[in-house]
Each structure stands twice: as C-alpha cells, then as structure tokens.
Structure 1
Amino acid sequence: MLPWLHRNREHLLALMKNLRLQPVAFTRIALEELTLLSVIALFLPPVWFTAATIAYGFHLAVHCVQMLVTYQRGCFLPQWSAPIQLPIVALLIWGMSHHHSSGLLTASLIMIGVMVLNLVLMHALTVRLQQQ
C-alpha cells in the first residue's frame, strides 16, 4: 500500500492528497485491528466472532470496489489480496456454526459499525501522532 501511495500521490483525489501514512503508522493500525479481533474471539460469544468475520468480508468487498474505482480513474490500486481473500472468507462464514443465529444480523451490523468507527479513530490518531 505504501509504495503505491508514494508512486500515485499526484493522481489521487484532492481529498486524499494529505494522506501521509508512514510504515510505522500502517503497522500500528494493523496490530490494533489484530488485537481487537483477538479480544472479540477470546471474550465474546462465538456469534460475535462470526459477525466480525462478516464485517471483515464487508471490508474486503469495499477494497474490491476501490480497485474498480481507482482503475476507472487511472490510478489503479492493486489490492489483490482483497479479491483473493473474499471467497475464502465467504467459505469460512458459511462453515461457521453460528451463521443461522437469530442475532447474527444485528451483531454483524454492530461489528461493521465498530469497524468503520475503529478505522476513523485509528486514522485520526495516526495523523495526530505523525504531527507531533
């Protein structure tokens, strides 16, 4: 991701030109997400882990859409791991025993909200830490 940002900075939309994600910040965000997922898996009922997996699949679908949009705009973002992982995650979700749970839809919507809020907070925190 970082090399792509460096090579394509001039092609990015005006809104994204101020994005300066450094390797340490990128790693920090990834570790925080792994920690959050581990807490969900260890301390919440299994339906929440299934919901988190569904939220992750939603996240991958967003990256697939990003690939299409950036291709159309002439600055292709090659996030090949997303279309490769998406069918695997779909199979994992299908194989989870909680996919018929009545609370799964609610839990999935909550986890997607948590994912979006976490992304916003981590990027805001990263920008603040990089400005110091």
Structure 2
Amino acid sequence: MATSPVILFFIICISSMYCLADDYVIIQSKTSGMVLDGNHYYVRARLADGSIGQKWNLTSTKIGRFIITNARNGHVLDVQHGCKLGNTSNVIVYKNHFGRNQEFYINSDGTIVSSCDNNEIIEMKDGKVEVCGKEEPCSSGDVFFKILETK
C-alpha cells in the first residue's frame, strides 16, 4: 500500500519535530471538512477557500510541541487568557510570546492538544474554535483533524 504525500508529509514533520519555515498546511476537520481560519483575532471554522488566513506553519518548540503560525498575520494559535485549566476557552491568533498556551501537541489520532494540559483539546463547533477540558468536556464538536499540504 502506497503512502499518500499528505500522510508522508505529516509523518516526516511530526517524526523529525520540525517543518520547513516556508511550508504551509491547512488544518481540516476529519468530520465536517471545515478548516481553521485565522483571518481575525478569533479563529473560526470555515469552508476551505484557499485564502491565506487558512494557511498555517508548524514550528517545533520542544519534543512533540508545535507553535502553529497563521500565514495571514504571523500570529500564532493561542488559548485565550492563558493556561486556566478546566475551563472552555476560545482559540485566538495572537502575537507570539512563547507561552505554554501557544504550544500544541498534534496527536496521531488527529487531536490537537494544548500544552497547558493534556486534557484540553481543540474543538470546532458551530463555527467556533475552542479548547475544552476536564471540567467542560467537549460536546458534539469536531476534535479530529488532518494536516493537508497547500499547493
């Protein structure tokens, strides 16, 4: 069985713990097909249209952790209000300050987990993108993503 270029890219990127600075990806829900869109302060779930706000760069910070940078404005995915564990928080794009709330694990099952807490995962629901945690578990939103190369 042949490995697709997208899966191969994902495996190489994750296993070597870095991605090339000029390579961008699209982060798409495996369930709905919606993508992360960082056109504004808040990150939203949108239909894929190829716009620059839907392109992201993965940069390794520590073993297994990534900073996810938006191509439109150079800001990074950020758990709003920092690492306040147990609460649902918005996912925003914000200037990189190298905080733990701006680092994420990308798991082999497709979940994207905040480095604040291994139980806080990114969820797409009703157009919003949030992290949900222990006290506020994810409901019926999309939590499984695939990383797609941009063309």
Q: TM-score range by the shorter chain?
A: under 0.3
Q: Which has the larger radius of gyration?
A: 1
| Larger RCO: 1 or 2 (CA < 8 Å, sep 6+) | 1
TM-score (norm: length of structure 2)? 0.22
TM-score (norm: length of structure 1)? 0.24
Structure with bigger strand share is 2
